[in-house]
Chains A and B, each alone.
Chain A
Amino acid sequence: MTAPVTTTAAVPPSGAEFPKKSYLNDGTTIRSWLLTHDHKRIALLYLVGTTIGLFLGGVFAMVIRLELLTPGPTIIEALTYNRMFTLHGLIMIFMFMIPAIPGVFGNFFLPIMLGAKDVAFPKWNLTSFYVYLAGASLMLWGLITGGADTGWTFYTPYSTTTATNITPVMLGVFIIGFSSILTGLNFIVTIHTLRAPGVTWFKMPLFVWAIYATSIIQVLATPVLGLTTLLVAAEHTFGFGFFDPARGGDPILFQHLFWFYSHPAVYIMVLPAMGVISEVICAVARKNIFGYKMIAMSSLGIAFVGFFAWGHHLFTSGQSAFDAGAFAAISMLVGVFTAIKVFNWVGTLYKGAIAFTAPFAYICGFLFFLVFGGMTGVALATVSLDVHWQDTYFVVAHFHFIMVGAVIMGFLAALHYWFPKMFGRKYPEAWGLLAAGLIVLGFNATFIPQFLLGNAGMPRRYYEYPDRFAALNVASTAGASLLAFGFIIIAIYLAIALTHGEVAGRNPWGSRGYEWDVPSPPPTENFDTVPVFTRGPHEYQDVPEELSKVGHAI
């Protein structure tokens, strides 16, 4: 470490005043928000977009759960039901999960954590948001007017022969893919070229490592999805027969190309959440992170191995036995890297001075859901077991444990942990804990019955089911209502806290992360001069809290 010795600055008292100038009031016209190049404002644009996605996806999820409340038809028709799960899947994945944590918290904190004033290409950053908006609008418009009923996976030959109009949906997904690529590309270049002095590769915050691994997947996998959506759209429109066995095509090839993106996409969703947990867990336990390099490297390990696990979606699709075996073995390696992270997080909590706050409640939920979802994932990666579980509610419950359980826990932990930094105000802790409790409870109540349903043989995407599945389905719907109730509470108290919350001050958590050295909310350019970071981002023990030498705006 060659950085100069810093002077110990006084820590502002917790009852600090709200900064007079920040990125929030630097330009108050609508134009200054919509055409901003500031990464923090773009992050807030993404927050609005992804929250709308979460809301819509949640509404459609509730419609599905209400329909499944009774064995027969309940509130909607069978075709509407198919459209509902297609809407739910596509919106949740492409409008919420994939852009949520990188787009919101990555955009906001990555440059600050590196000591940079902005991301490498601010204009492209704004472009990526509008591309996301355009793609999402086209997709939604296509879904609503065309009534696509294929599910989010677009399996051929159904998707290429369905009477519904899926072409605008495919093009919308293609366009959202562009946005995802731009974001990832921007982050990779930022990490390589804009690190401040003192921020060496192994002194980067772990959130940055996670975003780095995520971005690599976004850049390498998304183009293949783009090509696949184009092929399906062309095939649906012109009857090409690329994936149609009657014309010599190969439907299994579609599944290969589709899952080459869509399996790594799971890691696009979950790796940033893991990064959030690595950050928050140190702050709530007030301990140095245990096994920094292990956590950093396992992110890259998951990114790499996760790429070559896609074939476990094809075990019963007619894929060869050789590939099935190879993909099963590789899939299990993902479990090894994930376990490394889990052990390190638990090691960090061990003998920590834990503050039981809302972010910590979400960490507890995250650890449980990730381990539970991960272990059932290892079970599903076993070829012989998968034959039994394929396309049942067991699979549905498994991937919701990872994608809703782990990812939403990470998203909510990040939202609560960084809310004071982003908006300068605190959220009400008691309400936060209550909502966290409701969400964790509601989540378990929703999806544990689905494991049992799937194991008993209830297939996914079915409109009706035999009476013997009724009790568990009622339990699942009740849990979903609880989950929805938790989200409503969060939306209400965060909206109130935006303007009426207690002023947070620079560092209400006493966190050592670099982002807490700047005022809350941060000034437009983050730093007046190039900051010099003299300590690591997760150093709590044996290091007195001192501000890094950063050029404060005020």
Chain B
Amino acid sequence: MTAEGWLEPPPLPHHYETIENHQAALRFGMWLFLGTEVLLFAGIFVGYFVFRTYFPESFEQAGRHLSLFLGTLNTFLLLTSSLTVALAHHNAEHGKNRNAFWLLMASVAMGAGFLCIKAIEYTEKFHEGALPGKFFSFSEITAPGGPVFYVVYFFSTGLHALHVIVGMSLLTWVATRCWRKEFSPTYYAPVENAGLYWHLVDLVWIFLYPLLYLV
């Protein structure tokens, strides 16, 4: 434990010359990975627009049957968790590991809240029979294309929820490292990268929310 109250950073990998170079490499690698995530979701968004073009009416009808209140609440939850993650990054960068820990735990809690609300919405859909493909039996959508909307809906929100779970695990992992006071002004890349991942989860939802719930 150093005098400032944090652990010594781990030794620099042998193939890097400076710690700045190593941190830049980690950050760059994370951004590249986020680029792949953008393209992973690209396919779903393309599917959304294609089927919206084919079935504008059923997409409107089905969109109206989603719970606007729960969707909006979830949007605020994710935005706020993004703020706490950004603040945690700021605190870790200044060696305030305990603050960072609590902020990260708050983000994880909000992520869990998001998932609970999502589960409520899913349950409702299951009871209504508003389900993808051959399981579709929702009488209130009269226009053709209802089953396809729910494929898009469940696949996009499901894939997003999977990312929320992965993001929560990452945040929990860096939070435990915060608890052990591992981060300092020279070493905070894990907090930053886990935070970047969480922000990406937020970004995807920023697009999904209006497209599914509002339009």
Chain A interface residues (CB < 8 Å from chain B): 111, 116-118, 120-122, 181, 185-186, 188-189, 192-194, 219-224, 226-228, 230-231, 234-235, 238-242, 244, 247-250, 253, 256-257, 525, 530
Contacts and interface: CB of A to CB of B under 8 A. Distances in A.
A164 to B, nearest CB: 20
B151 A253 contact: no
B133 A239 contact: yes
A107 B61 CA distance: 53
A439 to B, nearest CB: 36
Given A241-B133, A248-B51, A249-B148, A525 B40 contact: no
Contacts of A257: 43, 46
A121 B36 contact: no
Given A222-B36, A224-B39, A247-B134, 16 more contacts: A188-B32, A189-B25, A194-B15, A220-B39, A224-B40, A227-B41, A227-B42, A239-B133, A239-B135, A241-B133, A242-B155, A248-B145, A249-B148, A250-B50, A525-B14, A525-B15
Contact of A530 (B17, B50, B133): B17
Contacts, number: 116
Contacts of A226: 40
B126 to A, nearest CB: 14
Q: Which of B21, B24, B147 has the most CB of A within 10 A?
A: B147
A248 B147 contact: yes
A189 B32 contact: yes
Contact of A231 (B33, B43, B50, B148): B43
A310 B79 CA distance: 37
Interface string B28-72: 110011011101111110110011001100000000000000000
B15 A248 contact: no
29 contacts: A111-B15, A118-B15, A121-B29, A185-B29, A185-B32, A189-B28, A189-B29, A192-B25, A193-B24, A193-B28, A219-B36, A220-B39, A223-B37, A223-B43, A224-B40, A224-B42, A227-B40, A235-B133, A239-B134, A242-B155, A247-B133, A247-B134, A248-B147, A249-B151, A250-B54, A253-B46, A257-B46, A525-B15, A530-B17
Interface residues of B, number: 38
Contacts of B17: 530
A247 B148 contact: yes
B25 A193 contact: yes
B25 A242 contact: no
Given A238-B132, A239-B133, A223 B36 contact: yes
| A-B complex: 10 closest residue pairs judged by Cβ atoms | A117-B15, A223-B40, A240-B133, A227-B43, A241-B133, A239-B134, A223-B39, A193-B25, A118-B15, A248-B148
Contacts of A234: 155
A230 B162 CA distance: 13
Interface in B144-170: 144-145, 147-148, 151, 155, 159
Given A234-B155, A248-B147, A120 B29 contact: yes
B15 A224 contact: no
B14 to A, nearest CB: 6
Contacts of B14: 117-118, 525
Contacts of A186: 29
B36 A241 contact: no
Given A248-B147, A257-B46, A220 B29 contact: no
Contacts of B15: 111, 116-118, 122, 194, 525
A243 to B, nearest CB: 10
B25 A231 contact: no
Contacts of A122: 13, 15
A242 B148 contact: yes
Contacts of A223: 36-37, 39-40, 42-43
Contacts of B147: 241, 247-248
Contacts of A194: 15-16, 25
A467 B15 CA distance: 63
Nearest to B29: A189
B155 A241 contact: no
A234 B14 CA distance: 44
A238 B133 CA distance: 8
A111 B15 CA distance: 10
A228 B44 CA distance: 9
Given A235-B133, A240-B151, A250-B54, A219 B145 contact: no
Interface string B1-29: 00000000000011111000100110011
A235 to B, nearest CB: 7
Contacts of A241: 132-134, 147-148, 151
A210 B147 CA distance: 45
B32 A219 contact: yes
A193 B133 contact: no
Contacts of A230: 159
Contacts of A530: 17
A241 B35 CA distance: 28
A355 to B, nearest CB: 35
A220 B40 CA distance: 9
A220 B35 contact: yes
A372 to B, nearest CB: 33
Given A120-B25, A227-B43, A239-B134, A220 B36 contact: yes
A221 B42 CA distance: 11
A479 to B, nearest CB: 40
Contacts of B132: 238, 240-241
A46 B101 CA distance: 41
B42 to A, nearest CB: 6
Contacts of B43: 223-224, 227-228, 231, 257
B36 A181 contact: yes
A170 to B, nearest CB: 14
B96 to A, nearest CB: 28
Contacts of B55: 248
B118 to A, nearest CB: 18
A74 B21 CA distance: 62
B54 A248 contact: yes
